[in-house]
Structure 1
Amino acid sequence: MWRVALHQMRSSAGRLGAAALAIVLGSAFVATTLLAGATVEATTHNTMAAGYAEADLVIGSNGMSLDQVHELGQVDGVAAANPVSRAFIDLHAGDRSEWAMMGPVPSDARLSVPTLTDGALPEVEGQVAVVADLAQRLGAGIGDEITLTWEDPADLDDGAEPTEHERTVQVVGLLEAPSSFFAMAQQVLTDAATFEAWDRTGGAADRLHFTEAVVLMSGDADLAQVRTGLEESLPGLTVQTVTERAEDMAAEFTGDGMLTALGLAFAAVALAVAALVIANTFTVLIAQRTRTLALLRCVGASRAQIRRSVLLEAAALGLLAAAVGLGLAVAVVAGGLNLLAGANDEVPLDTTVHLSPGIVAATLLTGLIVTVGACAIPARLATRVAPLAALQPVEGKPERRAGRARIAPAIGSLVTGAALLAGAVVLSAGAGEGSDAVFLALGIGVLGGLLSLLGLLTGAMFIVPALIRLGGRLLGRSVPARIATANAVRNPRRTGATASALMIGVALVAMMSTGALTAQESLSRNLDERFGVDLTMSVGHNGAEPSRGQVQVLADHPGISETVLLEQAVVELRSARTGTDTTEFVGAVAEGSLEQVVRDADLAGGIPERTIVLPRSYHDWYGLEDGDEVTLTAQDGTEVSLRVHLSGIPGTALVPPEVLAELDESAQITTAWARFADGADELDVVREVQAALTDLQAASPGDPTAWLGGSGVERAGYQEVISTLLTIVVALLGVSVVIALVGVANTLSLSVLERRRESATLRALGLSRGRLRGMLAAEAVLISFAGAVIGIVAGVAYGWAGSTVMLAGLGDVTLMVPWRDLALVLAGALVAGLAASVLPARSAVRDAPVVALAGP
């Protein structure tokens, strides 16, 4: 039967082409999804791990001293250990100055985040290497001297003015910092002695500056033993590999794997939809070959042989088509990654196509299993037809009733699936950030989606004719339109099967478009809450006030839309519930509109009366909660009681202006906040503003040194990664649409073959070729209309449910409807239906009526 199967494939290659194309695209969809997942994983790791260079382990702590970091380097199996420094110092070169992040030269070059581009790294005391663009702004080059200035924060604890320390050093090298938003690379690398001098004058001997350190293991060291040795060396340490740390960092802004789970959910549903489309197409195709199979029965083939020949043919077709689909996926992913990498220089997108044996096996097995599974029922049904009956012409038989027995199962599946979807939404809403509960809700939601989809497919023969009759009224009362409407609803089973192919594809498109838009909007809102201020400019808390020129630099830059000035005072903050007692800088708006600058929607109406707005980090540091009562005590003893509101503001606590006036009437302006303009390149804005401030410093030497902070660049980096990942997911939509259109075109073509006698009869009665084409076109458009409407409604519902489940851990989910995309999908489905009727119409009008009436 193998030879018979191959002969049948060669003799009917044309008819198998559409089914093979569907399998190619379905397999390519699977492979593309898997390859994209591998790329996402690699990109996430590269992006988050960029700040740790080639380190093997990352050490986390509530605080470590430099001496304790050195102790980590003495643990057996450790080749080098260095602190991850976030120290800011003031650099002076002539009349120019800037704030910059400083760190020590790593004891091993593999631990250096910035790379040396010119000169040498510091080797002796009094040498530094500086990032090239920073050196250019300062007007310093290799061999020039610059001055490092820093303050002793310990003096603030005693209420005194900070002691200023300075050291003159020589620039011996230029560095290039990584472009990743998340690298947090030092801009100045100092020699070990200079860095230790900063550490020793940083306050009391027990002051702990570092929350992270990186470790490089020796070549023959055992990971488990080194971990144990590090954990035993200092209490309270967390020891992670760079991969583990990168995964934790990614989870912080993706909602503990929510974005990955969202992509996997879409991929799982897309795979199921692709399988259903292929099964529908192949089922109709095999049904058209019943006569050929029956001829084999006539010459002595047994039923088992007939079934085996069909399954062998399906297996060969599935494997060959899947192999082509794999190659297509590799080409698409390779081209797409190169395009994305060129368009997103700031995100280190991994452009390697990660084609593993597992992906190859999964793709080939998918093509094989889906094709053989799709042919199992048609092959079994073909063997049940009596040989002589099978030799009869195959004609579509009109049905008087649309299978009333299917109503109850269809409604049952639809209702059960909807209930499971609702249950998944409720379960995820109550799960908070518990990943196990979210994945349980995901499983329930996928099951509910498949059940409801099954209900829609089963009930399509009832829903589609009703929508077709509605669409027929819109087409008018012309003869082709009336005949097309009558033909489309005459056989509800066939019409429902034809519309289902497009319905499935459109539902997938609508679901993924809705899910992607909802996810992007919800994640952006979450980032707005976490990173409330884009850019901050400060001159320190030692009584200095930014000059009007410095403020004007912010206000005049085209990449900045709004600015606000804050005045600050030093107070004691005390919480009765937690026992918190700490010195804080409290600020209030002096000029500008806070509502126009802060992105947190909770502050859109300003700061409520008798309320203090604190960064969300205060919950982790001091255990403060929304609604807690705290008391602020001014230096003159004035006390004010306020309610706590946690927000995404950076660093400074905020109170209404009248409250700050009670605490300190002489508070000075020390800080400016700014919001990036829509569409601005955040990183370029920061660089240009910093360069303008440095130039201003040279022109006005009396101005204090301003330094830029804020989370806008980091926020933009998160959004850039989110957009990149969502682009990869949404890019898969084209595959599902083409699969659906292949199914529609193939089903319409076979339907026309079944109705050749009917078409010939109409021709004999005087219907022109043009009107026959118009009738078939109207029928295709009506079927496409019905399938598209059902698919859009179902897709939006699935997209909302899936997004709610996936993003529940992030907080409130903003449900969105992509109206433009849905309108394009509907228009595209109608045009596609019209295009799908072209070849079948040509086939219908090709033969003369007498020839066509002679039978197929």
Structure 2
Amino acid sequence: MFRTALRNVLAHKGRLLMTVLAVLLGVAFVSGTLVFTSTISNAQQNSLQKGFTGVDVAIHTTGRAAADPEAGPGRPGERPALSQQLLDKAATVPGAASASGSVAGYAAVAGKDGKLASEGQSPRGANYYPGGDGKDARYPLKDGRGPRAAGEIALDAKTAERAGYKVGDTVRVSVDGPVLPQKLTGIFTSDDGSVEAGNSLTLFDTATAQKFYGKQGEFNEIAVKAAPGTSQTVLKAELDKILPSDTETVTGKQLADEQAKMVSDDMKAMQKFLLIFAGIALFVGIFIIANTFSMLVAQRTKELALLRAVGASRRQVTRSVLTEAFVVGAIAAVTGLLAGIGIGAVLRSVVRDMGASIPDGPLVVSLSTVLTSLAVGVLVTMLAAWLPARRAAKIPPVAAMSSVHAVASAKSLVVRNSIGAALSALGVAVLLTGSANEMVLSGGAALLVLGVFVLTPLLSRPLIAAAEPVLRTFGISGKLARQNAVRNPRRTAATASALMIGLTLITGMTVVAGSMQQAVDKLATSSLKADFLVSMANRNPLSPEVEKTLASSPGVTAVSPVRESPARIGDGHTPLTGVDGRTIEQLAKPKFTSGSFAGLSGDKAVVDKELAKKRGWKVGSSLPVTFEDGKKGTLTVSGVYQGSELLNGIVVDTRTLAPHQELTADSRVLVKTETGANESAKDSLRKALGDNPAIQIADKKDISNSIAGAVNTFLNMMYGLLGMAVVVAVLGVVNTLAMSVFERSQEIGMLRAIGLDRKGIKRMVRLESLLISLFGGVLGIGLGVFFGWVPGDMIRKLLPDYAMVIPWGRMVLFLLLAAVVGVLAALWPARRAARLNMLAAIKAE
């Protein structure tokens, strides 16, 4: 029986090729995902290990920062800091060779062309902390010297080379908005993974870095190097003796392990996300495999029955078919694994091209990846072939007297339709009653898809019959195509379902994403009266100098900063948002349910509706507040408004916040000009800010385009991932048609003999393929629109303006895609059918 199985595999190489490809694509996606995530994880972990080579013990502030109101009665927003005195003491403990302090933040470097010199999205700045020899061991100098005073910087070698800078040049740097001309005094090398991934690293002298990123004389971290012969554990114990209560020590090994775990967890999340799409492709592939083996078994009915007649048991017949599946699955798994390694390499390049910071490193193909890929390919194929194998084993020996085994009985179709109807009804009921819960929605969607799949043979007849008026225009070819499509409804259903699943997911995501885009767009722009919104490109805080510069610029009529300040209202931590109460009505128009911006000054505040409802506040309510400097006061609610991305929470006048703020920073600045939102006004503002590439100036159109761009990027990524399932579905249509042509060889020969020419045969096969594809497309788009409507109530809790929007243009495009799938899938089977020798076909059994 084993030799028989191998012979059958070799005898049907062409027919099984499509099955191999279907499994191969799914396995390639799985192995590619595993290779990609393992490679990125390994590269980042190696990079982190390098970053901790000079750190034996690190001193941090404890996790209980006083910014957490539950931490105690201290000032809101106050964080314990690491002082210079602590650093000096740490450097003198027994077993310490040296100690250095670190302070870091954002620093954008402009190239000579005015654009950002960083290839990555996270350009950084840090301090140069020289030791006794005048050098910082963390940053070996390649040329020049380290920065010693304000106005001097050092750049990493990769950025300097990329931007064409050399020692002595003037470099334009932006930390929080204004452009800072700096003299380049040194160029250094670094093993920092962020630098290796293309981000720029700018070093300032310690005092300047502390001014930019913290407070004078304070550090974010103190790194201590152990003296030769002193272990990290011993050094940690010595440092613990001198630490104040709000600090803690962590060994370099612990830091590396913690970072490695964080990287691993992030990669697992990404891996899970990508594997979902691999699973979809494999699920679609199951239909094709089951279809293929069902047709192969049907074609070998006589052969299998003869095997039973000469003594083969049912178990042997089942094993014979499963052995074929094992061979096919093994071939597909091995080739899929090899293809997946290539996919992993391509994915890394694509993610890098999108601006992600990925360190260099070798491709990682672990043993678990190999075993998982092989197991997935073999098990999926054998699972899909199991039902056809059982069906083959049940063929009675007497069937050897007939060339065709009995078709499915009416009773079995009635049972199938009843089960499908029950599953569909249950799925719809779950979706309609549980639309506020994600898990319930997922379960209901799965039940409905399964139900529709079971019902597909029943649905095929009326839906395909609806195309009859169009098919009549194609004469006898159209009539035969319709009859062929409904001749074996189960096969047609299985083929169409593969395409249906892919289009259901694509359509559903398109409807939800498009509807959310419109809601977010409306939320972001409807409350904006300002012509421009100015912010840092990376969303970091802006210097208050930016607002002052804009306010004094020609043509600007109104300006307001939007800044946040930590505060405590009663027992809860609730940040305050500051705006200019004198100009905010000219720049923002949120929807007020009561009160207004009028008179926003002193102790007056307006609060968003959600927060007011949660806390039981209304116009006139008094709010006891503790400001960030620890002083107490009382705010009076003068308005309740609908919150948005522009404004939310508790809004007060910046003059109310100013006396309590030690450091002032704006999240964004709203600007209104005499000429309105136009390119001339935008250019004028850009020049006023020194043509700073780190600052973004956006009007309403830019905000809308940004939202649309983010949604389209997400959708394009989803289309690419789900495209694998569509490709697998195409293979399924090709496979079904090819085998259908083989089964109907005698019939096609008779049609040729009685006068149907080759063009008519080709047209018949193409129309049949088109019908099956459009049938799957209509079902998929219909289900997708329904799935796009169902979560509306859940989304409206987050986006009150959410309303389902059906993108008709894309729906038509998806239907055309289904039609193109049908046309392309029919090319080879139609050509093969037209080239059949009519006499040989008539004589075929």
How high is the TM-score relative to the length of structure 2?
0.68
Distance 1:715 1:14 in 2: 51
Change (3 A) 1:820 1:304: same
Partner of 1:189: 204
8 Å contact from structure 1 (residues 533, 648) kept in 2: no
Partner of 2:113: none
Partner of 2:302: 291
8 Å contact from structure 1 (residues 19, 281) kept in 2: yes
Q: What is the aligned counterpart of 1:753 among 742, 764, 767?
A: 742
Distance 2:607 2:260 in 1: 24
Q: What is the aligned counterpart of 2:145 among 105, 108, 120?
A: 120
Matches of residues 786-805 of structure 1 in structure 2 within 5 Å? Answer: 786-798=775-787
Matches of residues 816-831 of structure 1 in structure 2 within 5 Å? Answer: 817=806, 819-831=808-820
Change (3 A) 1:284 1:308: same
1:456 equivalenced with 2:469 (yes/no): no
Partner of 2:221: 213
Change (3 A) 1:222 1:294: farther
CA deviation profile, 1:749-790 (whole Å, cap 9, x unmatched): 222222233333433443333223222222221121111110
Q: What is the aligned counterpart of 2:153 among 120, 129, 133?
A: 129
Distance 2:34 2:498 in 1: 24
1:739 equivalenced with 2:724 (yes/no): no
Task: In structure 1, give the amino acid aligned to 2:779.
Answer: I
CA deviation profile, 1:712-755 (whole Å, cap 9, x unmatched): 99999999999888765542223211110111111122222222
- Answer with 288-297 or 568-577: which moved more: 568-577
Task: In structure 2, give the amino acid aligned to 1:853.
Answer: I
CA deviation profile, 1:367-404 (whole Å, cap 9, x unmatched): 11111111212112212213351463348959878922
Matches of residues 385-424 of structure 1 in structure 2 within 5 Å? Answer: 385-390=395-400, 392-394=402-404, 403-422=413-432
Matches of residues 103-502 of structure 1 in structure 2 within 5 Å? Answer: 103-106=126-129, 118-122=143-147, 128-131=152-155, 172-174=185-187, 187-191=202-206, 212-213=220-221, 220-221=231-232, 233-235=244-246, 241=255, 265-341=276-352, 343-345=353-355, 347-348=357-358, 353-390=363-400, 392-394=402-404, 403-422=413-432, 425-428=435-438, 441=439, 444-477=440-473, 478-502=475-499
Task: In structure 2, give the amino acid aligned to 1:551.
Answer: S
Partner of 2:662: none
Distance 2:634 2:655 in 1: 14
Partner of 2:10: 10
Change (3 A) 1:538 1:311: closer
CA deviation profile, 1:503-550 (whole Å, cap 9, x unmatched): 2343344355556767888899999999995427977589x95377x7
CA deviation profile, 1:163-187 (whole Å, cap 9, x unmatched): xxxxx99964357999889999875
Distance 1:379 1:500 in 2: 21
Distance 1:76 1:614 in 2: 57
8 Å contact from structure 2 (residues 154, 204) kept in 1: yes
Distance 2:17 2:214 in 1: 76
Task: Structure 1 unaligned segments of length 5 or more: list them.
Answer: 90-99, 151-167, 203-207, 429-440, 556-562, 661-668, 695-706
8 Å contact from structure 2 (residues 577, 651) kept in 1: no
Matches of residues 546-561 of structure 1 in structure 2 within 5 Å? Answer: 546=549, 551=553
Task: In structure 2, give the amino acid aligned to 1:777.
Answer: R
CA deviation profile, 1:465-497 (whole Å, cap 9, x unmatched): 111111222334533223322332344333323
1:844 equivalenced with 2:833 (yes/no): yes
8 Å contact from structure 1 (residues 76, 226) kept in 2: no
Change (3 A) 1:845 1:220: same
Change (3 A) 1:770 1:112: farther
Task: Structure 2 unaligned segments of length 5 or more: list them.
Answer: 67-78, 109-122, 176-180, 627-632, 658-665
Change (3 A) 1:231 1:739: farther
8 Å contact from structure 1 (residues 50, 183) kept in 2: no
Q: What is the aligned counterpart of 1:776 among 753, 765, 768?
A: 765
8 Å contact from structure 2 (residues 792, 803) kept in 1: no
**Secondary structure class of the residue paired with 1:837:** helix
Shift of 1:322: 0.9
Q: What is the aligned counterpart of 1:566 among 559, 564, 569?
A: 559
**Secondary structure class of the residue paired with 2:559:** strand
Task: In structure 1, give the amino acid aligned to 2:128.
Answer: V
Distance 1:830 1:39 in 2: 39
Distance 1:111 1:418 in 2: 66
Distance 1:327 1:404 in 2: 45
Task: In structure 1, give the amino acid aligned to 2:553.
Answer: V
Distance 1:813 1:569 in 2: 26
Task: In structure 1, give the amino acid aligned to 2:465.
Answer: R
- Answer with 21-30 or 290-299: which moved more: 290-299
- Answer with 713-722 or 16-25: which moved more: 713-722
Distance 2:749 2:581 in 1: 84
Change (3 A) 1:572 1:494: closer
Change (3 A) 1:301 1:820: same
Distance 2:51 2:522 in 1: 26
Task: In structure 2, give the amino acid aligned to 1:546.
Answer: T
8 Å contact from structure 2 (residues 26, 278) kept in 1: no
**Secondary structure class of the residue paired with 1:732:** helix
Partner of 1:697: none
8 Å contact from structure 1 (residues 77, 226) kept in 2: no
8 Å contact from structure 2 (residues 596, 639) kept in 1: no
Distance 1:216 1:355 in 2: 37
- Answer with 824-833 or 283-292: which moved more: 283-292
CA deviation profile, 1:3-29 (whole Å, cap 9, x unmatched): 333232222222221211111122123
Shift of 1:415: 2.3
1:21 equivalenced with 2:54 (yes/no): no
Distance 1:129 1:573 in 2: 33
CA deviation profile, 1:182-234 (whole Å, cap 9, x unmatched): 99987552146x778999995xxxxx966x53657869536997899599853
Number of residue pairs matched by the alignment? 753
8 Å contact from structure 1 (residues 500, 787) kept in 2: yes
Change (3 A) 1:410 1:849: same
Distance 1:290 1:733 in 2: 36
8 Å contact from structure 2 (residues 36, 348) kept in 1: no
> Sequence identity, in percent?
26
Distance 2:316 2:447 in 1: 35
Distance 1:639 1:533 in 2: 28
Distance 2:236 2:707 in 1: 35
What value does the CA root-mean-square deviation take over the aligned residues? 6.5
8 Å contact from structure 1 (residues 307, 380) kept in 2: yes
8 Å contact from structure 1 (residues 461, 492) kept in 2: yes
**Secondary structure class of the residue paired with 1:64:** coil
Matches of residues 502-541 of structure 1 in structure 2 within 5 Å? Answer: 502-511=499-508, 534-535=534-535, 540=544
Change (3 A) 1:511 1:73: farther
**Secondary structure class of the residue paired with 2:479:** helix
8 Å contact from structure 1 (residues 464, 499) kept in 2: no
8 Å contact from structure 1 (residues 614, 654) kept in 2: yes
Change (3 A) 1:188 1:308: closer
**Secondary structure class of the residue paired with 2:83:** helix
Task: In structure 1, give the amino acid aligned to 2:828.
Answer: L
Distance 1:814 1:773 in 2: 46
8 Å contact from structure 2 (residues 622, 634) kept in 1: no
Distance 1:80 1:142 in 2: 28
